[in-house]
């Protein structure tokens, strides 16, 4: 029975259930009959007298065995990861977005989101000036210090690209956070992220015009100003 503050969920695992089937022989006799073979014999039976007679009879049979496979599971605690204690009631997850500054100033939450998605987040499509973010470099990206290369290292593109990397990372972190809360990301955010990924993937070495324009919709989403998207979180 669930308590008031329990958090039920469902998990699954594919398993192969194995069992050993043992077939044991079974022979039972039905009602027996006897009949005379010829006439009576005067005197003893020829041969050696025995207390009983036995002989072997065999029969090929097909054994049909109905089987039902199932498995049971148990769950046991395996430890926990401690967070930061605070006063008051538990905060309620709110469908809202955070800015670059929040994720930069809260590395534990940033790294937890990156870890939950497999340990890395791709900024870009994998080509051009794309960059892979991990827990070891996420704060640098959010601090406008994406390494060069791939980031352009000279004007006029260096600054706009650094902002683009940071806004794109914050947007992807916001999407991950919304999904974790069970909220479907808004179309404006998804379109802005795809456009930014494509721009970085198509960027030549040294960069190209347009980074500022591409990052603007991301900033609108992160700041809670994008049409049809969640509002900005109270930070």
Tell me the pLDDT of the chain (235 aa) as tens digits: 556 666 667 777 777 888 888 888 888 888 887 777 667 878 777 778 888 888 888 888 888 888 888 888 887 787 776 665 655 555 445 689 999 999 999 999 999 999 999 999 999 999 999 999 999 999 999 999 999 999 999 899 999 999 999 999 999 999 999 998 888 899 999 999 999 999 999 999 999 999 999 999 999 999 999 999 999 998 6
C-alpha 92/C-alpha 79 separation (Å) is: 24
Q: How many helices (H) and strands (E) does the chain have?
A: 6, 2
H helix runs in 100-186, sequence order: 100-105, 107-116, 138-142, 158-180
Q: What one-character-per-residue DSSP string does 170-194 give?
A: HHHHHHHHHHHTT-PPPHHHHHHHH
Specify the pTM.
0.62
Kindly provide the residue ranges of all beta strands, DSSP E only, lying in the chain, ordered along the sequence.
Answer: 121-123, 131-133
In three-state secondary structure terms, 123 is strand
Domain ranges of the chain: 100-222
* Cβ atoms of 140 and 147 closer than 8 Å: yes
């Amino acid at each position: 029975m669930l308590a008031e503050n329990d958090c039920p969920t469902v998990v699954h695992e594919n398993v192969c259930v194995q069992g050993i089937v043992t077939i044991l022989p079974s022979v039972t006799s039905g009602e027996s009959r006897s009949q005379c073979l010829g006439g009576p014999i005067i005197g003893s039976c020829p041969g050696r007298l025995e207390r009983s007679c036995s002989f072997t009879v065999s029969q090929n049979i097909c054994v049909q065995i109905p089987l039902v496979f199932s498995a049971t599971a148990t769950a046991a605690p395996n430890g926990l990861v401690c967070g930061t204690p605070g006063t008051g009631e538990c905060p309620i997850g709110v469908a809202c977005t955070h800015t670059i500054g929040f994720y930069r100033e809260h590395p534990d939450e940033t790294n937890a989101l990156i870890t939950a998605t497999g340990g890395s987040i791709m900024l870009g499509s994998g080509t051009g000036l794309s960059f892979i973010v991990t827990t070891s470099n996420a704060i640098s990206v959010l601090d406008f210090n994406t390494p060069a290369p791939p980031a352009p290292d000279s004007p006029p593109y260096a600054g706009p690209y650094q902002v683009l990397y940071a806004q794109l990372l914050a947007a992807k972190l916001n999407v991950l956070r919304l999904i974790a809360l069970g909220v479907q990301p808004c179309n404006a955010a998804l379109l802005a992220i795809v456009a930014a990924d494509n721009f970085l993937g198509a960027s030549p070495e040294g960069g190209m015009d347009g980074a500022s324009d591409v990052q603007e919709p991301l900033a609108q989403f992160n700041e809670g100003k994008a049409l049809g998207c969640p509002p900005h979180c109270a930070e």
